[in-house]
Amino acid sequence: MEILVVEDNPSNLRLVRDLLEYRGHTVLEATDGEQAVEMARLHRPDAILMDIKLPMLDGSEAVKLLRQHRETKDITVIALTASAMKGDEQRFLDQGFDGYIPKPINTRKFCDTVEEYARQPRKP
């Protein structure tokens, strides 16, 4: 599976990349929302892991743009954020994300969770 990881923190990006690559996935990387939208249009990955707090264009705005374009509207996008508060999951789903993984990530379950979200058909 090809997965675009959008994360501006180098340590978090390295951890997520290493976990996914160890599991056999191809990882693309972006460090801001604008770059993420551009890379998604060019590569059409199977899934996108998107941090919410990003420079240039935050994750919520980036997912809105992805949902507006024919070539990216069906890509699974999973919110990956440290701001885990009650009600966040539903808020992210309402914004167009397909799933939600809070940070710090559970390294034992992380890849299983990403793969499960990516296998589910995207709901419009």
Q: Note the pLDDT tens digit of each residue in 62-106.
A: 999 999 999 999 999 999 987 666 667 788 888 999 998 988 889
- Domains of the chain are 2-119 (3.40.50.2300)
Tell me: the pLDDT tens digits for 33-61? 999 999 999 999 999 999 999 998 999 99
% of the chain beyond a pLDDT of 70: 94
pTM value is 0.93
Place of tokens 């599991």: 23
Residue 27, CA atoms < 13 Å, CB-side half-sphere: 21
Q: Which residues pair with 6 in a beta bridge?
A: 30, 50
